[in-house]
Amino acid sequence: MREAGALFGRAVALAPALVEARVRLARVKTLQHDDDRAAALLDQVLAAQPAPRWRYMALLLLGGIRERAGRPDEAIRLYGEAIDARPDGQSAYLAMSHAMYAAGDRQTASKTLDRMFARALTPSADEPWWDYLFDWVDAQRFFQDLRE
């Protein structure tokens, strides 16, 4: 993990506008329990108004950071923005519902899941979180092969 962080850090230093490197470095930082550094990177990503997939990823990661920091209202708002960015992204609905449930709002948590289920999502629905570990173009081809 340390090596990945160093490599993504180098990528950010060499190409500061590269959103993907910042998101991936932020993910490494969250795994290293360095939420402050991760949040700063994610704030930079969001300020750059990235493509919807990267916005979704940044919002999910930042929501998790806010949730761990005991700021559920902010986490829920960020998860809602992630849903707006990628309405078929199941992870955002699940994260939002979990945060609501943990905050004691079980009814709204349930309604959030109902919203997700009403979308009648399929295994091939657009969910950036699942594709995140792979290159998105190759991941879709890889997952299609597995589905077949």
pLDDT in tens, 66-105: 999 999 999 999 999 999 999 998 999 999 999 999 999 9
pLDDT reported for residue 58: 97
Q: Is 16 exposed, middle or buried (0-12, 13-18, 19+ CB in 10 A)?
A: exposed
pLDDT in tens, 4-26: 788 788 888 888 888 988 999 99
Residues 6+ away with beta carbon under 8 Å from 20: 54
Provide the residue type at 115 as one letter: R
Distances (CA, A) of 42 to 51, 90, 102, 106, 117: 14, 21, 24, 29, 29
In the structure encoding, which two tokens stand for residue 102, read together? 């943990």
Report, as an integer, the average pLDDT of 20-47.
Answer: 95
pLDDT reported for residue 146: 57
